[in-house]
Amino acid sequence: MAKVKIKPLADRVLIESQPAEVKTASGIFIPDTAQEKPQRGKVIAVGTGTKDEEMKVKAGDMVLYGKYAGTEISEGDVKYLIMKQSDIFAIIEK
């Protein structure tokens, strides 16, 4: 992975979304038009936090977030989401 030149400010988090499922557990392929928007991703960079809110996520964490959370941005051909830490629901333990 190339080094990202985007540094979030305050309580913001930069997330790379994981690809949506293209096949069900039973082996049926899901067309693009019926795929759900991804709700999990990998934290790429975090801001420094604010005086009222310390950062609980760190780079490398896998997280769950709201379906419509964040703002899509792109650097090169990679798309990222930038959102507030409060839009993240959970950290996925490995």
The CA distance from 58 to 48, in Å, is: 10
Predicted pLDDT of residue 61: 96
Count of other CB atoms within 10 angstroms of residue 72: 9
Predicted pLDDT of residue 23: 73
Predicted pLDDT of residue 32: 67
Does the reported pTM lie above 0.85? Answer: no
Predicted pLDDT of residue 22: 72
pLDDT digits (tens, 9 = 90+) for 11-26: 999 999 887 667 777 8
pLDDT digits (tens, 9 = 90+) for 31-83: 766 666 678 999 999 999 999 989 999 999 999 999 889 999 988 888 899 99
- Assign domain 1-18+37-94 to its CATH architecture: Roll (2.30)
Q: Which amino acid is at 60?
A: G
